[in-house]
Structure 1
Amino acid sequence: METTTTVFNDTFASDIIEGLSSTPKFLSSKYFYDEKGDAIFQQIMEMPSYYLTRSEYQIFDTHKKALLQLFGPDCTPFHLVEFGAGDGLKTKVLLQHFIEQKACFRYLPIDISENVLSLLTHDLEMKFPTLEVEPLANDYFEALNILNQREQNERKVILFLGSNIGNFEHEQAIGFLQKMRQHLNPNDLLLIGFDLKKDPAVILEAYNDKEGITRSFNLNLLDRMNKEFGGNFDTTKFRHNPTYNPLTGATKSYLVSTEDQVVTLEKLGKSFHFEAWEAIDMEISQKYSLSTIQHLAEQAGFQVTSNFFDKNKYFVDSVWSVK
Structure 2
Amino acid sequence: MIEEFANNVDAGLSQSEKTLPSKYFYDKKGDALFVQIMKMPEYYLTRCEMEIFSTQTLALIESFQADKNVYFELIELGAGDGSKTRKLLAALSDEGYQFDYMPVDISQNALDQLEKSLQQALPHVSVIPKHGDYFEMLGSVKDSHHPKIVLFLGSNIGNMSDAIASDFLYQLGANLSKNDKLLLGTDLIKPADIVLPAYNDESGITRSFNINLLHRMNAELGANFDPGGFAHAPEYDENEGIAKSYLLSGCDQSVDINAIGKTYHFHAGEKIHTEISRKYNDEIVCGLLQQTDFSIAAKFTDKNHYFADYLLNRN
Q: TM-score range by the shorter chain?
A: over 0.9
Whether the 8 Å CA contact 1:297–1:320 is kept in 2: the answer is no
- Secondary structure, counterpart of 1:107 in structure 2: strand
Q: If the length of structure 2 is used for normalisation, what is the TM-score?
A: 0.98
User: By how many angstroms is 1:297 displaced?
Assistant: 2.0
1:181-219 Cα distance to aligned partner (Å, 9 max, x none) = 111100210000000011211000111101100000000
Equivalent in 12, 27, 34 of residue 19 of structure 1: 12
Q: Which amino acid aligns with 2:105?
A: D
Give the whole-Å Cα distance in 2 for the aligned partners of 1:74 and 1:82. Answer: 20
Equivalent in 50, 53, 56 of residue 57 of structure 1: 50
- Write out the 4+ residue segments of structure 1 that deviate beyond 6 Å after TM superposition: none
Give the whole-Å Cα distance in 1 for the aligned partners of 2:201 and 2:9. Answer: 27
1:273-294 Cα distance to aligned partner (Å, 9 max, x none) = 0011100001000001111112
- Secondary structure, counterpart of 2:75 in structure 1: strand
Q: What residue is the counterpart of 1:3 in the other structure?
A: none
Give the whole-Å Cα distance in 2 for the aligned partners of 1:258 and 1:264. Answer: 17
Give the whole-Å Cα distance in 1 for the aligned partners of 2:38 and 2:53. Answer: 16
Give the whole-Å Cα distance in 2 for the aligned partners of 1:140 and 1:67. Answer: 23
Give the whole-Å Cα distance in 2 for the aligned partners of 1:29 and 1:78. Answer: 32
- Secondary structure, counterpart of 2:309 in structure 1: strand
Q: What residue is the counterpart of 1:143 in the other structure?
A: 137
Matched, 1:181 2:173: yes
1:12-31 Cα distance to aligned partner (Å, 9 max, x none) = 11000000111100001000
Whether the 8 Å CA contact 2:294–2:312 is kept in 1: the answer is yes
- CA change 1:70–1:62 in 2 (3 A) is same
1:239-268 Cα distance to aligned partner (Å, 9 max, x none) = 111111111101000001010000011222
Within-5 A mapping of 1:44-123 = 44-71=37-64, 72-123=66-117
Q: What residue is the counterpart of 1:321 in the other structure?
A: 313
Q: What residue is the counterpart of 1:4 in the other structure?
A: none
Runs (5+) with no aligned partner, structure 1: 1-7
Equivalent in 291, 299, 302 of residue 299 of structure 1: 291
Matched, 1:134 2:128: yes
Taking only the aligned residue pairs, the percentage that are identical comes to: 46
Matched, 1:10 2:3: yes
**Which has the larger helix fraction?**
1
Whether the 8 Å CA contact 2:179–2:313 is kept in 1: the answer is yes
CA root-mean-square deviation: 1.0
Q: What residue is the counterpart of 2:256 in the other structure?
A: 264
- Secondary structure, counterpart of 2:259 in structure 1: helix
User: By how many angstroms is 1:89 displaced?
Assistant: 0.4
Give the whole-Å Cα distance in 2 for the aligned partners of 1:321 and 1:89. Answer: 24
Q: Which amino acid aligns with 1:21?
A: S
Give the whole-Å Cα distance in 2 for the aligned partners of 1:131 and 1:169. Answer: 35
Give the whole-Å Cα distance in 1 for the aligned partners of 2:293 and 2:179. Answer: 13
Give the whole-Å Cα distance in 1 for the aligned partners of 2:284 and 2:189. Answer: 11
